Amino acid sequence: MRDIRVAAAQFEHRENDKAFNLARIHELTRRAVQQGAEIVSFHEVCVPAYTWMQPLTREQLLAVAEPVPDGPSTQQLVQIAREFRTVVMAGLVERDSENRAYNCYVTVGPDGFITRHRKLHTFINPHLTPGSAYSVIDLLGCKIGFLICYDNNLPENVRITALMGAEIIFMPHVTGCLPSVMPGRGVVDRKLWDNRRRDPARLRQEFLGPKGRAWLMRWLPARAYENGVYAVFSNPIGWDYDSVRPGLAMVIDPFGEILAESHALEDDVVVGLLTAEKIPVSSGYRYLKARRPELYAKLVEPQESVTLPGWTLKHEKIP
């Protein structure tokens, strides 16, 4: 790995408005590059937006989906990357040649499409097909891995990505301020978001408390710490279908420390300098070498896999 500056962005997307969302990606990429970013990462399915897809039929979902890499949104992301001479990462819904739909995260650069990651643990819509592979690539002198939102909730996924050589894992999300049985968690009143400029303190308290940042701090830095990797967390902010998202874009180092973080109550981008020397001296790097795979047979016993969130999905409208 070499030293590299990477950016994590947050913005308030609009449902099924690709033109608007791509315009925000363009603007935030410009801002990130002005701060020296060589990679700019955006949140899960940020191009068409995400949570609103819960009640879509298969036909409606496929109407939102696009081919990758030849679809118009991926090609527009390439144009953004080319204009700013940087790498851009963003989420969309992919449609393959057999009309299967995937929650897909694409990486593009000035010379075109680089790679995709298909989300392993899909749940927002039953017509999404789960991905079947981990994704680790060589990029700009670094080993880069990808895991989308729920993928990161299972420690095994982050561990395997690290074992495949990833030094930096990009973790695009749509999360936070969701219904939950956990103490202190739950949704944020939309009135607080709409009134954020007159009364920012109340909204910030909600975002920084157990509904948002305090919940992330229970597990997100641990993923970086226990594997000795950098973690780059992107997330939307603002109104998202039926609830408020807290943003909190951040870059975390292999010690689990926050290198860069947004507390802005608006669209924002933060840039962190990721340095090579931290990885080989991190605890997680030592832990990877201390593993005893001969004891781990229980981990790979077959089971029925069911991916469920901690809140009620709106699938009842799907015939």
Nearest to 129 by CA among 105, 101, 148: 101
* CA Rg value for the chain: 19
pLDDT score recorded for residue 315 = 63
CA distance 317 to 319: 6
56-87 tens-digit pLDDT: 999 999 999 999 999 999 999 999 999 999 99
Q: Quick one: which of 269, 271, 266 has its CA closest to 12?
A: 266
Q: Is the per-residue pLDDT at 317 higher than 60? A: no
Q: Would you say residue 314 has pLDDT above 90?
A: no
Instruction: Please check the confidence at residue 316 and state whether its pLDDT lies above 70.
Output: no
pLDDT the model gives residue 56: 97
CB 224 within 8 A of CB 213: no
> What would the pLDDT profile of 11-64 be if each residue is shown by its tens digit?
999 999 999 999 999 999 999 999 999 999 999 999 999 999 999 999 999 999
* Overall average pLDDT of the 165-178 stretch: 98
313 against 202, higher pLDDT: 202
The reported pLDDT for the residue numbered 54 is 97
Contact (Cβ atoms closer than 8 angstroms) between residue 175 and residue 211: no
pLDDT value at position 24? Answer: 98
pLDDT digits over 256-307, tens only? 999 999 999 999 999 999 999 999 999 999 999 999 999 999 999 999 999 9
- Report the percent of the chain where pLDDT is more than 70: 98
3-state secondary structure (DSSP) of residue 60:
helix
> What is the chain's mean pLDDT, rounded?
97
Host domain of residue 78: 4-317
Supply the pTM of this predicted model: 0.97
User: Length of the chain in residues, anyone?
Assistant: 319
Strand-pairing partners, residue 268, are: 10
Predicted pLDDT of residue 112: 98
Residue 195: CATH number of its domain: 3.60.110.10
Please state, in angstroms and rounded to a whole number, the distance separating the CA atoms of residues 128 and 45: 12
pLDDT digits (tens, 9 = 90+) for 191-248: 999 999 999 999 999 999 999 999 999 999 999 999 999 999 999 999 999 999 999 9
| The pLDDT of residue 319 | 47
Domain count of the chain?
A: 1
Encoding tokens for residue 58?
């298969």
Return the pLDDT at 11: 98
